[in-house]
Amino acid sequence: MSQYNILLDEKQLPDAWYNIIPDLKAPMAPPLHPATLKPLSPSDLEALFPMALIEQEASMEPMISIPGEIMDVYRLWRPTPLRRALRLEKALDTPAKIFYKNESVSPSGSHKLNTAVAQAYYNKASGIDELTTETGAGQWGTALSIACSMFDMKCTVYMVRVSYDQKPYRRSFMQTYGGNVIPSPSDTTDFGKSVLAENPDTTGSLGMAISEAIEVAAKSGGRVKYSLGSVLNHVLLHQTIIGEEARLQLDSVGEYPDIVIGCVGGGSNYGGIAFPFAKDKLRDGKDIDFIAVEPTACPTLTRGLYAYDYGDTGKMTPLLKQYTLGHNFVPPGIHAGGLRYHGVAQLIAQLVREGEMRAVAYYQNPCFEAAALFAKCEGIVPAPETSHAIRAAVDEALKCKESGEAKTILFNMSGHGHFDMSAYDAYFSGKLQDFDLDEDKLREAEAAIPKVD
């Protein structure tokens, strides 16, 4: 088998998702009800999610079978290739081996479709015909629009306004699959109207878009359900098919990663590549360096507080114990829209808190520099979000060059940048701005975090 392009046969497609919750060293802190601040019960979530997903959210089963109907859709693009970046290695003159899981080959161009298909399926099976959601860069909204079209469902997407304006073709992509795309904040919800009344020129945020999408579902009388593209346990669960495939592919060429890297906004693509390998660290003490990469403009893991906080600006979601910049935080309008989130998945936050994983933050320009190098070497233009993972992989490979160590590096190529060329235009013209948040702005946002014992 070629070490350059490592493929799995369709018959080798994993038929179960890996659930990391039973392997955690300490129990997860319980989610809290947004009004009472008391631990949630499953019934509290029924207005938003079907029971199958609620059960997955708290499941203690180590592996959860993937229904045949989902497997049938997965086979449109899965298994995805694992590639060794030999040309990038040569350009860096590094002894390190660099592998990347290419999730950009999905119909949506990113990893997001792995959970979108699952969520659409479970909602349709429970009798739901319409979903509402939010999207930052547009990859999640695209994925859910595609998934809903496959299960004959309606889809409404609240897209963060700065990304809605920056990426018109991503919006058109969603509309092609029947998605109804609305810039957020909007005048279609009470929450959106209240934000616009206070700040009509706001660039928006994922927290605002989540609030709008949840409001629509909550006021529908059960007719519409809400779908989330990251953060929650069941979302990261569905993404573990990425790492499960990668394990099989690396094993087929006698390799195992010393370093596992992914970009992190809410945390779904990173959890997807990392969790199936973290199992070895948690169960057997395997020495693996897990690196979560985020933007300096929205440094949740590297500069946020570890505390209970809402997942949205309107305080409609349950409170999760997480690293957070405060639910009122509005990050600068960087091009990596999918990483502009004030919080992070509770599972990743706990693993970082316990020292099982670590986080780093990068400015935009160094990330695009790495992305341009990757494109020249590997032939794929990465999404701005993915460029953060590539930057970290390049830096780790350069460290190996200095030390002479031949480490094996694995990162998740979470999506392509075909709809993000305006960001590359800004980079090549020298107009891409790097943001570094001052402590006063962070403290101001953190002041809104609820005080929970």
Domain boundary assignment for the chain? 5-10+79-109+240-446, 16-65+112-226
State whether residue 319 is helix, strand or coil: strand
Q: Flag the least confident range among 36-40, 287-291, 330-334, 345-349.
A: 330-334
Share of the chain above pLDDT 90, in %: 79
pLDDT range class, residue 390, cuts 50, 70, 90: very high
pLDDT range class, residue 363, cuts 50, 70, 90: very high
Terminal-residue alpha carbon distance, the chain: 55
pLDDT range class, residue 337, cuts 50, 70, 90: low
Buried b (16+ CB within 10 A) or exposed e, 130-159: bbbbbbbbbbbbbbbbbbbbbbebbbbbbb
Q: Which own/partner pairs from 422-425 qualify as long-range (CB within 8 Å, at least 24 positions apart)?
A: 422/166, 422/167, 422/335, 423/166, 423/335, 423/368, 423/384, 424/368, 424/371, 424/372, 424/381
Question: In this predicted model, what pLDDT tens digit does every residue of 7-36 receive, in sequence order?
Answer: 999 999 999 999 999 999 999 999 999 989
Average pLDDT, the chain: 93
Exposed / middle / buried, residue 105 (Cβ in 10 Å: 0-12, 13-18, 19+): middle
Average pLDDT over residues 349-370: 97
pLDDT value of residue 139: 87
pLDDT value of residue 396: 98
pLDDT value of residue 444: 81
Question: In this predicted model, what pLDDT tens digit does every residue of 57-103 receive, in sequence order?
Answer: 999 999 999 999 999 999 999 999 999 999 999 999 999 999 999 99
pLDDT value of residue 47: 85
pLDDT: which is higher, 296 or 446? 296
Amino acid sitting at position 209: A
Question: In this predicted model, what pLDDT tens digit does every residue of 110-169 receive, in sequence order?
Answer: 999 999 999 999 999 999 999 999 998 788 999 999 999 999 999 999 999 988 988 888
pLDDT value of residue 1: 47
Q: Which CATH architecture has domain 5-10+79-109+240-446?
A: 3-Layer(aba) Sandwich (3.40)
Token match 């030999």: residue?
86
32 strand-pairing partners: 39, 319
Cα distance between residue 399 and residue 413, in whole Å: 21
Q: Which CATH architecture has domain 16-65+112-226?
A: 3-Layer(aba) Sandwich (3.40)
Average pLDDT over residues 286-309: 95
Q: Say which DSSP state 358 is in.
A: E
Q: Which own/partner pairs from 172-176 qualify as long-range (CB within 8 Å, at least 24 positions apart)?
A: 173/138, 173/142, 173/145, 173/419, 174/135, 174/138, 174/141, 174/142, 174/145, 175/145, 176/145
Residue 333: pLDDT over 80: no
Are 5-10+79-109+240-446 and 16-65+112-226 equal in CATH topology?
yes
Average pLDDT over residues 218-227: 92
Share of the chain above pLDDT 70, in %: 98
pLDDT value of residue 3: 65
pLDDT value of residue 104: 96
Cα distance between residue 171 and residue 182, in whole Å: 9
CB distance 351 to 278 below 8 Å? yes
C-alpha 262 chain-centroid distance: 9
C-alpha 321 chain-centroid distance: 18
Residue 340: pLDDT over 50: yes
